Structure 1
């Protein structure tokens, strides 16, 4: 006889990603004060946010038919997560590059292209997803009320 699967076994990658975020948060809290955020960290954080955005989008879509109210709240969370992703993307571009040549476009040096373009390509792809399902007004201001 086998035991029933645990609820968190259905999403092992999400559990691993959450553990990674917790690990880095603890490491930052334990270490000596760091300098301000740099482009590398913001790029990695943006990648994490866009992955969460995709997951939340899928959860909202699969939840909505069976539980419309819960699906709407997940869609609202997805929009708010997108707003956070936009702000991280904007902050990435406001931080100066480590060197003068870092922003120079030399695709022959990096097979995936310059880092500044990969973060933008990721952002544009995620933006396409959110714009298919959300109005510009919803993206600018999103408020909900608790139904409890």
Structure 2
């Protein structure tokens, strides 16, 4: 059995991913982010493909489904709207020491923000988990 050869490294700043593929992946990431989802799913990829009517993927989809692109878009958007979202993106879980908690709490208060906390109370030695909520 022949040994599997590893491809030579690419020059810095280059990629083996074709430009069109990269464009679709970036568009699907935008769709995912705009909809508040955590992971890129099949529907996000399909929406990204449908954004370029001249793409091979869109042509194949429209030939197979015999539906207009606008109907496919609408169906995918309805499907994605039913998926749960992780919650507000402005929440950041962090662990703070007592001193850092006190300083963060004061800074948040000055900025008109609230700190949501979980874990041991500030007088305990262990770091606590804190979320900054807007």
Q: Verify same fold: TM over 0.5.
A: no
Normalising by structure 2, report the TM-score. 0.28
Comparing both structures, which one devotes a greater share of its residues to helix?
A: 1
Comparing both structures, which one devotes a greater share of its residues to strand?
A: 2
Normalising by structure 1, report the TM-score. 0.26
